[in-house]
């Protein structure tokens, strides 16, 4: 990178900032939320939403619980204008929701905006003009005083139209490009507007302090917000609002620190859609609060449903690793993560915990509409026995012995590695069954018969190398007798038999499963499994499966 000297720091930090906010470490209550999806989000789409698409999105925002929604820039286009008219004329705005519209501080644009608002029960009229050094010098080519004049003239006009029409309007003013504006000037222009708009406790004015372009670290923004909170006229009648964009990837940090510094309100979008790198993602902000025990007053219990609508109407894609919402954010592929998650989930179940403490998962996936099944533990070559065992148990009811899980783990990850593919849960079940269950080559056990005296005697009919024969064994228990028959009659050597059985509780069957592990002479472990209505049969089948695997059979 050769040209770093091309760039300068264009923000205005606050000298000797009190930084009272730094003592706080989390946002302890929900701010007023305002969705700007239908305006800032929409104005940055390749194809802005149609009227019908905006309507669908609006209804979704209402369902999520937004009480303030910036529905558009009515003077921008016919669609924008007609959308606002449709909301008003078709009475689609719930009584507890306030719509917001954006306007430049230009007379014809303001007038058109109020035209579009006719008949609205209430609305926030949002006026903006740019205040940064670059905008003043390059775009507007005006002095500070002239820039204040644009804002004051705009404020006077919206106030007078509102008074004339006796509409139920609240006002919002944004010094656009605020963070690149000298703070004393930002306070001066906001105060000039406040003095015109004359807020009251019943009709507060919203002062929105946007990070129009993100050019600094988040603590600088927090200092700027603290400064404004300390210097705005009539602070008690002002709602300080934040509108962070995300150019440096710090939209969430800016918002959270800005709230700590005294702001009351956030403007943002779902999934962070918006100009350039987007606006702050309200889902992340809300879920960050939620994950620390704070009710966000927005309902994200069904994020997959929200994604479906969002992707369809905006033609955007939700990034797989987008916090809380991405398809992969609750998925663990790697062995040690899976192991910890599986143990954490078990711990939670055993202790019947109400609180969420599962490692690697900051929130319970079910709280945002994601399922544990198939979504959390996913298997590839990086996976391990803990995760694979957990999946077989949770999804299919196979509670495999701890010692067998390692074998299954290496088997699955090896297959995934060679195929260079993720293994889906149904493939894992199929491989598991194929590899361990009901092995009949080279020894096919056809029948058995037990007689119990003071010990157990078994006669087994087997087929081996095309030849049918009976073998006999004795032992303390049934499996012991079968094992003795195999080792003594067939001259197969193994030792240290491990055994586990359980009823299969998942699925429609009421079958029993048995797992048997044996060691060959070198100490290598071979596992087999059997499934049957009868637990004895399941265990005999499992032992023959293990023996057949030891003999390299199928």
Ligand X SMILES: CC(C)C(=O)C(=O)O
- Hey, which residues between 147 and 176 contact ligand X (CB under 6 A)? 174, 176
If one asks whether residue 40 binds Mg ion (CB under 5 A), the answer comes out as yes
Closer by beta carbon to ligand X, 157 or else 512: 157
Tokens for 240, please give them: 């300080």
First-to-last C-alpha distance (Å) of the chain: 60
If one asks whether residue 80 binds Mg ion (CB under 5 A), the answer comes out as no
28 is in an annotated binding site: no
Cα separation, 176 vs 231, whole angstroms: 18
| Partner interacting with residue 524 (select from ligand X, Mg ion, ligand ACO, none; CB below 5-8 Å by kind) | none
Interface residue list for ligand ACO (CB under 6 A): 40, 43, 73, 75-76, 104-106, 109, 128-129, 139-140, 150, 176, 212, 275
> How many binding residues for Mg ion (CB under 5 A)?
1
**Nearest distance from C-beta of residue 416 to ligand X, angstroms:** 45
| Partner interacting with residue 527 (select from ligand ACO, ligand X, Mg ion, none; CB below 5-8 Å by kind) | none
Tokens for 300, please give them: 């994200």
Select from 12, 21, 37, 40 the one that contacts ligand X (CB under 6 A).
Answer: 40
CA angle 438, 444, 446 (to 5 degrees): 95
Mutual angle of helices 183-197 and 144-165, in 10-degree steps: 20
Closer by beta carbon to ligand ACO, 176 or else 188: 176
| Partner interacting with residue 174 (select from Mg ion, ligand X, ligand ACO, none; CB below 5-8 Å by kind) | ligand X
| 308 Cβ contact list (under 8 Å, min separation 6) | none
279 is in an annotated binding site: yes
Strands (DSSP E) along 317-455, which ranges? 443-452
Cα separation, 234 vs 243, whole angstroms: 21
Cα separation, 249 vs 234, whole angstroms: 33
**Nearest distance from C-beta of residue 10 to ligand ACO, angstroms:** 16
Give me Rg for the CA atoms of the chain: 34
Closer by beta carbon to ligand ACO, 107 or else 373: 107
> Which of helix, strand or coil describes residue 85?
helix
- Hey, which residues between 233 and 272 contact ligand X (CB under 6 A)? 243, 245
**Nearest distance from C-beta of residue 211 to Mg ion, angstroms:** 9
Select from 100, 113, 191, 212 the one that contacts ligand X (CB under 6 A).
Answer: 212
| Partner interacting with residue 549 (select from ligand X, ligand ACO, Mg ion, none; CB below 5-8 Å by kind) | none
Q: Is 108 exposed, middle or buried (0-12, 13-18, 19+ CB in 10 A)?
A: exposed
519 is in an annotated binding site: no
Cα separation, 123 vs 468, whole angstroms: 89
Nearest to 363 by CA among 282, 301, 272, 279: 301
Closer by beta carbon to ligand ACO, 140 or else 319: 140
- Hey, which residues between 80 and 119 contact ligand X (CB under 6 A)? 102
Cα separation, 278 vs 271, whole angstroms: 9
Closer by beta carbon to ligand ACO, 111 or else 474: 111
Cα separation, 373 vs 300, whole angstroms: 20
302 is in an annotated binding site: no
If one asks whether residue 136 binds ligand X (CB under 6 A), the answer comes out as no
Beta carbons of 78 and 68 less than 8 angstroms apart: no
Query: Under the rule (CB under 5 A), what is the footprint of Mg ion?
Result: 40
Query: Under the rule (CB under 6 A), what is the footprint of ligand X?
Result: 40, 102, 128, 174, 176, 208, 210, 212, 243, 245
Q: State the binding site for Mg(2+).
A: 40, 243, 245, 279
Q: State the binding site.
A: 40, 243, 245, 279
């Amino acid at each position: 990178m050769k040209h770093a000297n091309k760039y300068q720091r264009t923000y205005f930090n606050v000298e000797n900032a009190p930084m009272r906010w730094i003592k706080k470490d989390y946002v302890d209550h929900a701010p007023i939320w305002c969705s700007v999806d239908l305006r800032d989000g929409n104005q940055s789409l390749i194809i802005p939403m149609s009227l019908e698409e905006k309507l669908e999105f609006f209804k979704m925002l209402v369902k999520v619980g937004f009480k303030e929604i910036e529905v558009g820039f009515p003077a921008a286009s016919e669609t924008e204008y007609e959308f606002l008219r449709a909301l008003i004329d078709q009475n689609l705005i719930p009584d507890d929701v306030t719509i917001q519209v954006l306007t430049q501080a230009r007379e014809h644009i303001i007038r058109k905006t109020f035209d579009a608002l006719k008949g609205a029960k209430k609305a926030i009229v949002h006026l903006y003009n740019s205040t940064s050094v670059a905008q003043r010098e390059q775009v507007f080519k005006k002095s500070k005083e002239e820039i204040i004049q644009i804002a004051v003239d705009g404020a006077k006009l919206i106030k007078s139209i509102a008074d004339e029409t006796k509409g139920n309007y609240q006002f919002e003013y944004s010094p656009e490009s605020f963070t690149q504006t000298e703070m004393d000037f930002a306070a001066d222009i906001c105060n000039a507007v406040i003095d015109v708009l004359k807020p009251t406790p019943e009709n507060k004015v919203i002062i929105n302090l946007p990070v129009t372009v993100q050019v600094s670290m988040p603590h600088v923004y927090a200092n700027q917000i603290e400064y404004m909170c300390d210097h705005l006229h009539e602070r008690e009648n002002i709602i300080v609002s934040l509108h962070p964009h995300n150019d440096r990837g710090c939209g969430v940090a800016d918002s959270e620190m800005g709230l700590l510094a005294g702001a009351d309100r956030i403007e943002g979008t779902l999934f962070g859609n918006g100009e350039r790198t987007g606006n702050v993602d309200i889902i992340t902000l809300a879920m960050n609060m939620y994950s620390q025990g704070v009710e966000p007053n927005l309902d994200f219990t069904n994020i997959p449903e929200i994604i479906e609508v969002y992707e369809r109407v905006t033609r955007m894609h939700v990034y797989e690793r987008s916090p809380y919402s991405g398809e992969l954010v609750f998925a663990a592929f790697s062995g040690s993560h899976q192991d910890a998650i599986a143990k954490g989930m078990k711990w939670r179940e055993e202790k019947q915990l109400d609180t969420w403490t599962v490692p690697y998962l900051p929130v319970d996936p079910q709280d945002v509409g994601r399922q544990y099944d198939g979504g959390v533990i996913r298997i590839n070559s990086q996976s391990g026995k803990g995760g694979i065992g957990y999946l077989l148990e949770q999804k299919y009811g196979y509670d495999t012995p701890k010692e067998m899980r390692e074998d299954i783990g290496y088997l699955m990850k090896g297959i995934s590695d060679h195929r260079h593919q993720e293994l889906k849960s149904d493939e894992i079940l199929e491989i598991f069954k194929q590899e361990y269950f009901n092995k009949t080559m080279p020894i096919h056990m056809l029948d058995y018969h037990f007689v119990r005296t003071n010990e157990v005697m078994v006669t087994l009919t087997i087929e081996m190398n095309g030849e049918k024969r009976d073998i006999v064994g004795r032992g303390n228990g049934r499996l012991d007798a079968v094992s003795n028959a195999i080792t003594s009659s067939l001259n197969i050597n193994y030792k240290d038999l491990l055994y586990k059985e359980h009823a299969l509780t998942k699925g429609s069957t009421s079958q029993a499963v048995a797992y048997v592990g044996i060691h060959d002479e070198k100490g290598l472990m071979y596992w087999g499994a059997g499934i049957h209505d009868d637990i004895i049969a399941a265990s005999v089948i499992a032992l023959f499966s293990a023996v057949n695997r030891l003999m390299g059979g199928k």
